[in-house]
Chain A
Amino acid sequence: MSVNKDSIYNIVDEVVVKHNGDPSMLVAMLQDVQAQLYFLPRESIVRIAEKLDIPLTRVYSVATFFRAFSLKPRGKHNLKVCMGTACHVRGAEKVLDKIETELCVCAGETTKDMKYTIETANCVGACALGPVVVVDNEFVGQMTTDKVKTILEKCN
């Protein structure tokens, strides 16, 4: 996805205002920006630092520390494979393997056509349903390798 600089600035500026320009709300601001842009383009990080008058290194460190943030564009659909313990003991690895094989990309990557991004999570808190895959915010429980094709086909 490409967004022009001005609209990134607009989005950042609004978010900063919403949080009263309070640097302690940095994590929330980055989340709000990402919610609109699906990732954090370089311009957005630079702009936040300028607007809050804090070092760019601080924003960049925070943005690269937390898993919730992506500095790379993400695909249209997000497949989050839960790798929590409950999912692991019920075969999450196999499910992830299958999704990776089907889409020919590894976890953390986006398909060339920008349709899917595969991510892993270290527990999404739906442990009773394991293995769980969160497809665009929808929880699919008791996943098996043979369900993978169906969930991919459903994404359109």
Chain B
Amino acid sequence: MVNIEMETCRLTDYADLESYRANLQAKKTENKVITICCGTGCLAYGASKIGQSFKDEIKNQGLEGTVSVKFTGCQGFCERGPLVVIRPENILYQRVKPEDVSRIVTETIRNDLILDDLLYTIPSTNEKVRCEEDVPFYKKQLRLVFGTNGYIDPTSLDDYIQAGGYQALNKVLSSMSPDEVVDEIKISGLRGRGGGGFATGAKWEITREAPGELKYVICNCDEGDPGAFMDRSLMEGNPHSIIEGMVIAAYAVGARQGYIYIRNEYPVALKNSEIAIKKAEEKGLLGKNILGTGFDFSIKISRGGGAFVCGESTALMASIEGRTGEPRANYIHTSEKGLWERPTLLNNVETLANIPLIINKGAEWFYGIGTGNSKGTKIFSLVGKVHNTGLIEVPMGITLREIIYEIGGGIPGGKKFKAVQTGGPSGGCLPEEKLDLSVDFDELSRAGSMMGSGAMIVMDEDNCMVDIARYFLSFLEEESCGKCVPCREGLKRMRQILDRIIEGKGQDEDIELLIDLSESLTMGALCGLGGSAGNPVLSTIRHFKDEYVAHIQEKRCPAGVCKPLIRYYIVEANCNGCSLCIKECPADAISFQGKKQPVKLDQDKCTKCGACYDICRLNAVEVK
């Protein structure tokens, strides 16, 4: 890939940046760009090997200079990875294998022929789709923030500038006062994308007005919500957009020092943001005397140590200060007294990535997208029991049904939809009746869930809601810092109650006890983690009480999940004695009965690990 930064000189004023951009755009020589998605999903499917093969092939076929190969961040459609998109036509090839590379170059790049077998096929109609934008997964999306990921190499500042990057910063520094910037964000109606949904403009205003010379801006990339990975993908795939957002925020609130707090589990995000910071500094877009305006702002990276609670503002700040990530009471808001007791603006990755967009296109434009109190788009990670898993960006107000069935392609395996969990461990599970709910901050809260950071986990009839509630509680129990009594002791007791329900030892009063403890947590816990920890329990009791009752009164797990309440059976009519399950069984519970004879399962020995069920190709193992 030809990717040499044009010049290493600093940009010293506004005009400088614009002429640099014009220069980049004029210099563009290649007529085709092959983009290879290098998000975590595609990498796991071997994207880097494919990328290397493309580079070799382009070289072998003498196409260097006219065709470039670009490794991009996550493009979203993880389910069909590795993804290769040929631009400018946006031809999408999915599930690409290394052996496909040479024919792609020969046929598609050289001869403009489409390789049908690599195109996406719409399952219901068997129709092959050629362009990225026509794939149903992308069609309903509005990819304002996330879309750029597919076009740029995250390690190249030139790519970002060419795509219009740092234009917003230029506009802000050259023609807007800090107050005007704050007003613009307030007018846009942007709300924090990290979970709380606090009005971003108001937060900026409080920090701006807080007395003190030293102020900080922190970008929260401690994406701990299980099931969410949009912040990771943005930080990995387009770090400059976040940096640009931070510099604008710093200018608006009057901060000179910033931190990006990145969780330990995201090494690529760490690497790419480090590169981006360095390059932005070299170009004079970050650091001292930004674009020759005399405005200074620098960014340090702080690595998390693996603690969900550090997504909580005060815990995150304690961790940056080098202490245990323990929250403290924030009766005085961190906007006034935050990091080292100084006024601190803490924004989430996705929130900051929206900032350049709002500045460039205007607050009114942004305000025009979305619903009443929820403006703009939201990135969701659509995962779990759904056909098209991946990251999606949709306008606020879209319905759950549109997301799950039109973008997500519905539930695989002919199974029935049961629930969708939104908002991570602080959120709730919504049943089928809520599928036409329009997705925004207020509607989700009203239904007993929340927006959270945007995890959307689809569950089908094979998922047990009592098990899901227990899952979230044990997650939170492990992630609780342990400081306050309601959270530390309450979560432990709630998990114990759910344990006994799952073991078939539940008592009638257990549901009452769970509600009681959940409410005490909501009202009495110190921080947001504990304060919302009861939600998964309350929402499953609210919408799926019958499952609790089945466990407690009938000692039965209707979904066939809770081990102590289920049994595996051999369906004799389906079994041909192939013995695959016998080899797989770790407990020697299955015995061979002769050729073509159904095998026998000894219930006393069975540990209910489910290995036989998973391995059987004949549907001869059933669970009840």
Asked if B232 is an interface residue, CB under 8 A from chain A, the answer is: yes
Q: Which of B302, B383, B385 has the most CB of A within 10 A?
A: B383
| Chain B residues in 8 Å Cβ range of A101 | 586, 609
- CA–CA, A106 and B42, complex, Å: 30
- CA–CA, A102 and B472, complex, Å: 27
**Chain A interface size range:** 35 or more
Query: Which of B44, B226, B304, B319 meets A85, CB within 8 Å?
Result: B226
Asked if B622 is an interface residue, CB under 8 A from chain A, the answer is: no
Given contacts A24-B320, A30-B305, contact A139 B265 (CB under 8 A): no
Given contacts A31-B303, A98-B609, contact A90 B614 (CB under 8 A): no
Q: Which 8 A-B pairs have the closest CB atoms?
A: A66-B305, A128-B78, A84-B226, A67-B306, A123-B226, A26-B322, A139-B44, A86-B383
Stretch at the interface among B57-65, B162-170, B455-463: B455-463
Q: A86-B226, A146-B611, A146-B615 are in contact. List 6 more A-B contacts (CB 8 A).
A: A24-B321, A27-B303, A85-B471, A126-B44, A126-B229, A129-B44
Asked if B602 is an interface residue, CB under 8 A from chain A, the answer is: no
Quick check: B468 and A61 within 8 Å, CB to CB?
Answer: no
Q: Which of B224, B225, B305, B322 has the most CB of A within 10 A?
A: B322
Quick check: B479 and A122 within 8 Å, CB to CB?
Answer: yes
| Chain A residues in 8 Å Cβ range of B308 | 122
CB distance from B298 to the nearest CB of A (A): 15
CB distance from B300 to the nearest CB of A (A): 9
Q: A90-136: which residues lie under 8 A (CB-CB) from chain B? A: 90-91, 94, 97-98, 101-102, 121-130, 132
Quick check: B303 and A28 within 8 Å, CB to CB?
Answer: yes
Chain B residues within CB distance 8 Å of chain A: 40-41, 43-45, 78-79, 223-229, 232, 264-267, 302-308, 319-326, 381, 383-385, 389-391, 421, 424, 455, 457-459, 463, 468, 471-472, 475, 478-479, 481, 584, 586, 609-611, 614-615
| Chain A residues in 8 Å Cβ range of B223 | 125
Number of A-B residue pairs having CB atoms within 8 Å of each other in the complex: 168
Residue of A nearest to B418 (CB): A89
Residue of A nearest to B231 (CB): A125
| Chain A residues in 8 Å Cβ range of B381 | 86, 127-128
Asked if A145 is an interface residue, CB under 8 A from chain B, the answer is: yes
Quick check: A89 and B610 within 8 Å, CB to CB?
Answer: no
Chain A residues within CB distance 8 Å of chain B: 22-28, 30-31, 58, 61-62, 65-69, 83-91, 94, 97-98, 101-102, 121-130, 132, 137-141, 144-146
Residue of B nearest to A87 (CB): B226
| Chain A residues in 8 Å Cβ range of B320 | 24
Quick check: B384 and A130 within 8 Å, CB to CB?
Answer: yes
- CA–CA, A146 and B122, complex, Å: 30
Residue of B nearest to A25 (CB): B322
Quick check: A89 and B615 within 8 Å, CB to CB?
Answer: no
11 A-B pairs within 8 Å (CB atoms) are namely A27-B319, A62-B305, A62-B323, A69-B305, A85-B383, A85-B384, A85-B471, A88-B226, A125-B266, A139-B40, A141-B44
CB distance from A125 to the nearest CB of B (A): 4
Residue of B nearest to A132 (CB): B44
- CA–CA, A102 and B615, complex, Å: 16
- CA–CA, A27 and B264, complex, Å: 10
